[in-house]
Amino acid sequence: MLQIDLTNKVAVVTGASGELGRVISRTLADCGAAVAVHYFRGEERARAVVNDIHQASGRAIAVQADVTDQASVLAMRDSIGAQLGTADIIVNNAVHQYDWTSVLEQDPADYESQFRTCTLHNVLMAKAFVPAMIEKRWGRVIAINTECTMQSGPSMSAYISGKGGQDRLLRVLAKEIGEHQITVNQVAPGWMISDRYRETPADDAGYRAGVPLRRRGYDQDIANTVAFVASDLAEFISGAYIPVCGGNVMPTV
């Protein structure tokens, strides 16, 4: 029987107090990983995730960092190393939230924030955590992208410019560190149902009509995909952009 077994692995999930991050963290812990639950400002939510993992007999700690600041990321790495050991899996999920509008109306600062929390975030996490993976000749770099990167719809420009930069960066990284048996992959959610939408359902009929499966997926679908690419079952998958959106976007060859 195939199983996702992450026993004895240490995972770091950035933005782990958020809608997708909390489910990703709990799922990796359910697979046996010790999880560093990162937060920037959401300490209470992060500690609630840690408590959930402890209640399920898992190992987890909460760690604070600004993922756009190298010194802060390095301090987080050192704290994780002291408490859990060196990281085997990093899941780069954190991103700054802002109001979307047209290119002509979007504040230039929003483009900078998306570059910093998407592209630079991935650079700093790689610099901090990949060297130890190289020493072990095993590692997983996983980043959360979005279906929006392929859609290029109105009002998306700041978000997808940051995520587009992330995509190109990680394709290069996959080629640079692959020889060390480290995989680099991106999971790209569609408009998923998470706690926010379970509590306050959205008017999503128009969106669902365009999805081949005619429905929205769930936060757990993203967590399941992350767990898969983190595991040895996906040891020969690298450089992939994996949409988890019911076929709403389809990469072509």
Dist CA 111 CA 94 (whole Å): 16
Q: Which residues contact 230 (CB under 8 A, 6 or more apart)?
A: 4, 6, 9, 11, 28, 31, 33, 89, 91, 140, 142
| Residue 33 DSSP code | -
Q: What is d(CA 65, CA 24) in angstroms, rounded to the nearest whole number? A: 18
CA nearest neighbour of 195 among 18, 16, 42, 48: 18
What amino acid positions are annotated as catalytic residues? Answer: 159
CA–CA gap between residue 228 and residue 218 (Å, rounded) = 16
Rounded distance between C-alpha atoms, residue 116 and residue 161, angstroms = 11
Residue 131 identity? P
Six token digits for residue 158: 């700041």
Tokens, residue 177? 């560190």
